[in-house]
Structure 1
Amino acid sequence: MFHRLLSRCLLTVALLPLTALGAGFPQLSTLAEDGFRLSAEARLLGSGGQPAATLASITPRRSLSPASVTKVYTAAAALDRFGPQHRFTTRLVSTAEPGAEGVLDGDLILDGGGDPALTSEDLWRLVQRLHQAGVREVVGRLVVSQWRFGPVECITTDRCRARSRAKNAYNALLSSAGVNFGSWCVSVAPAAVAGEPAVLTSCNSKVPLPGFDNQVETQPADSGTRLSATRVTQQAGDVMHVSGQISTNAYPRDLYRASADPAGQTADLLLVMLERAGIQVRGKAVTSTTQPPASAQQLAAVAGEPLQEVLLRTLNYSNNFMADVLALNLANGARPGLAAGGAAIQAFASGIDGHGPLLLRSGSGLTPENRTTASGVNTLLAYMFEQPALFPSFVAGLQSPRNGVMRFIRKGPPLFQNRVMLKTGTLNEPVRVRAVTGYFRTLSDRWGAFTVLVNGTASTPYLNWTMVLERLSEDLARLIEAH
């Protein structure tokens, strides 16, 4: 009798519509009806003596690809390890000392400190401090040392292609001595007269770095601007091929493309800056994977932005270069690869009670093998909520839909727009992934956490952000109003 009753119960559950099984997520559950794989959960967080409570869920323990939602794990692990005020330091060192005439009779070595946010402005400050230290001439070479990590083996198709050709910046290659997020920047401005080639300049140097192939034509006012750029690596180095048109009354446009060699990019840019500052380098500019000698003395140093500022940009702009460089800084062992960075973040998350299974092959989410669950991500968010010294820096990296940097999130009911902070994740290969996580505040000012992971399959229809955010915003708005 018991077995017959159990069979009937199981049959009843099996026949229930997915909207019933996805309690609290009636709109999102329709994506499951279309064949998409979902893991979703919304929960109230325990605070002020009030217990935590699950408000809505759809298979919350199903492991799926989180895409760039991975970055919240990286941010949490970095804050836990380093603290919000940690700064990564980049140094210029040498085994020689500058003589009375400012001559450095040896190599000048840039010791790459793994700063995820090192920019050309930081390099310029470093050069100025070297000048202040009295250096006017370097007899030896300029050596850019990426001994901590780099060049990092590519493990995704996007990054492997970027070694020879790049049409984007999101797939930048990785190094502990990379600058400007591993990407070249070219500024395109109109010529004064229509019919003339556009004016191309480097965003960070008067010297054209990289080389330019200018196929952009200036068109009459209000003709519109359409630009295409591809960075190609040739025998002489990186070359940016730029084509299209720009109208005479258009503002200059900056185009970013991943460089083939981030440490080499740093060497080229630093050499130009040294010359501009009146510091002559007689030798070549080269890269190295060897740690500077123990006898090398510091000549100049620059500390980067505090980690809390680095995370703001990493999360707001979903910067893959910054996230993966942070993960590599967390890794154990000499010259780690991306999998080692992912393993370090996994180790951090495994110490959070109730998290459950997690697989990370990178800190950015660019690796499609990453797997987690909605319940697991929410457990991470709950843990960070309970860390008063870390939570302000952590939540600050998330976006408010109403004022988000990413325009596509600026939609949904007012309650969603004004009472949610979120991080999104997107992948299009090998299957489409749309993932989103974050915090919400109810009308009674209770804090909550939510995560939605939507993965396509080879047979599911097209998936875009409108399909996910419209449904999620309606469901979350109801939960916010109800509690």
Structure 2
Amino acid sequence: MALASGLALLLAGCATTSVPDPVQAALAKAGLPADSLGYVLQPLDGSRAALTRRADDAMAPASTMKLVTATVALDKLGINHRGRTELLAASAPVGGTIDGPLILRGGADPDLDWPALWWLLRQLRESGVREIRGGLVVDRTLFNPTRLDVGLPPFDDAPEFGYNVIPDALHFNGSVIDFELQATPAGASARSLPALAGLVLDASAMQPSTRLCKDWDEVWKPAIVQPTGDGWTLKLQGAFPAGCSQRAPLQLVDRQWLVTHAVRQLWAELGGTMAPGDVEAAAPADAVVLATHRGRPLAEVLRGVMKSSDNALARLTYLQLGAQAVQPDEPTLPAAERTVRAWFAAHRIDDRGLVLDNGSGLSRSERISPAQLAGLLRASQAGAQAPELLAVLPVAGLDGTMSRRLKDTPAAGKARLKTGTLHDAVGLAGFVPDASGKTWVFVALLNHPEAAAKGRPVLDALVDWVAGQR
């Protein structure tokens, strides 16, 4: 097995497989079998034998798979890598007129929201352009295919929620619209933010609910989306808690419609005119760049990917790995996978059993073994970007997806761990200081049909055990 020297040390010699008593007790209390749990635990300096169980078994990682995407991206793309959005034209404007279409080219910009789009168009308007004699061309060709979401079955029964967004190279407003939902005596009212011409909201079918406001989405039902002329009518369904107000980013209308109408609406508000006719196509090779928006550096974007476990941004980052390495006419996802496997090989981590899909962990197929994930973590701390990865990991009891876990424990404020949750898989992976201050590599994956409902206390007990070691 072609393991890195560090990983070989991690699993060699007198590694033990006995489950710590507190963890065994947590498994028993949850009614989960010990075989549902896999882990690799060892001081980063290798000064103690590894504690392992199912170390080489390929398991569903849930969002701990984001560690793979983040670690490889920091190394291969670099901490200052930035996505960008460009406005272009086939030729330079003359006399305040673009004699043809305006081109909006997506470059995997994670921050292209409404204010950013307004600023792009404002730059164009202040340069003197007023009239666009063609329509709008939307260029998503950085990734192949340009729309990975088209024709893909929904992951679950809530495709409209933001965690399910499958991004493309033009990630405008995260492909969602913000909706403000407000309880009324009869049920709820709704409006989009901002208001969009052609978008009609009908909340008359929503009923009052006795649920807590924080649980509003538990009584939400998928909206009925109907085309109406050049727009959409959204008939909201389900119920809404009394006295509640929520702002919900939802993926309810086609993203091409959203971005073209957003551009046209903002351009008109800026005093510009644009001829009809909008298409999705590649920009000409010699197109002239008129304005540019740059997203935040990768090291900053990864805070959202890791601390908030943002699936869409993780997928966008994974696709950028592919876009950097893609061969002519090659799909982007296989190129991203090739990049990750090459990184594993370069660090002498065996990739047998590793299954890659979209790099976010929101997948039924992605698999990684505890040993592989531990090897990646160990390699990350030997690399130049070690501080950057530590900085983006959630801190136990303080922030991100760990803010409510392990409070008032020895690990609080010290352990830095990426969480993972699917219905049948939970995980924690990262770094846990023990009672003497020595940092441990920590990987724990639990796969079971009731993992999400019962598995977290087991993983937390394992963190507590490591944090108490001397």
TM-score by shorter chain over 0.5: yes
> What is the aligned partner in structure 2 of residue 15 from structure 1?
none
Q: TM-score, normalised by structure 2?
A: 0.83
Q: Tell me the secondary structure at the aligned position of residue 91 of structure 1.
A: strand
Residue 96 of structure 1 corresponds to 91
- 8 Å CA contact 1:152, 1:337 repeated in 2: no
1:181 aligns with: 174
Which residue does the alignment assign to 2:467? Answer: 480
From 298, 307, 320, give the equivalent of 1:307: 298
Corresponding position: 1:140 with 2:134: yes
SS in 2 for 1:215: coil
CA distance in 2, matches of 1:209, 1:384: 49
1: CA distance between counterparts of 2:452 and 2:212? 28
Match of 1:11 in 2: none
Identity %: 22
Which residue type is aligned with residue 42 of structure 1? L
Q: Secondary structure of the residue that 2:412 maps to in structure 1?
A: helix
Give me the whole-angstrom Cα distance separating, in 1, the residues matched to 2:91 and 2:428. Answer: 52
Aligned to 1:319: 310
Deviation at 1:215, TM superposition (A): 2.2
Which secondary structure state, in structure 1, belongs to the residue aligned with residue 451 of structure 2? Answer: coil
Residues in 2 aligned to 1:369 and 1:75: alpha-carbon distance in whole angstroms: 19
CA distance change for structure 1 residues 216 and 29 in 2, over 3 Å: closer, same or farther? closer
Provide TM-score, normalisation by structure 1: 0.81
SS in 2 for 1:294: coil
Counterpart for residue 19 of structure 2:
22
- Distance verdict in 2 for CA 1:172–1:475, change over 3 Å: closer
Count of aligned positions: 439
The Cα of 1:174 is off from its aligned counterpart by 2.5
Counting only pairs closer than 5 Å after superposition, residues 159-170 of structure 1 correspond to structure 2 as 159=155, 166-170=159-163
Q: Any conservation in 1 of the 2:415–2:433 contact (CA below 8 Å)? A: yes
**Pairs within 5 Å for 1:221-370:** 226=216, 228=220, 230-236=222-228, 239-243=233-237, 244-245=239-240, 247=242, 250=244, 252-259=245-252, 261-288=254-281, 290=282, 292-331=283-322, 332-333=326-327, 334=329, 336-357=331-352, 358-370=354-366
Amino acid of the structure 2 residue aligned with 1:118: L
Query: Alignment RMSD, CA only?
Result: 3.1
Shift of 1:155: 8.4
Q: Which amino acid aligns with 1:277?
A: L
Deviation track 1:40-66 (CA, whole Å, cap 9, x = no partner) reads 1111112xxxx4544422121111111
Residues 23 and 58, structure 1, Cα contact 8 Å, conserved in 2 = no
Q: 1:59 to 1:436 in 2, by over 3 A?
A: same
- Give per-residue Cα distances to partners, 1:320-369, cap 9 Å, x unaligned: 21111111111123463544433432332232224543221211122221
Larger radius of gyration: 1
Letter in 1 for 2:191: T
- 1:240, 1:396 → 2: CA distance? 41
Give the match's secondary structure for 1:426. strand
Residue of structure 2 equivalent to 1:3: none
Q: Could you tell me which amino acid in structure 2 is paired with residue 212 of structure 1?
A: L
| Matching of residues 8-87 of structure 1 within 5 Å | 21-22=18-19, 26-27=24-25, 30=28, 34=33, 36-46=35-45, 51-87=46-82
**Please, which runs of 5 or more residues in structure 1 have no aligned partner?**
1-18
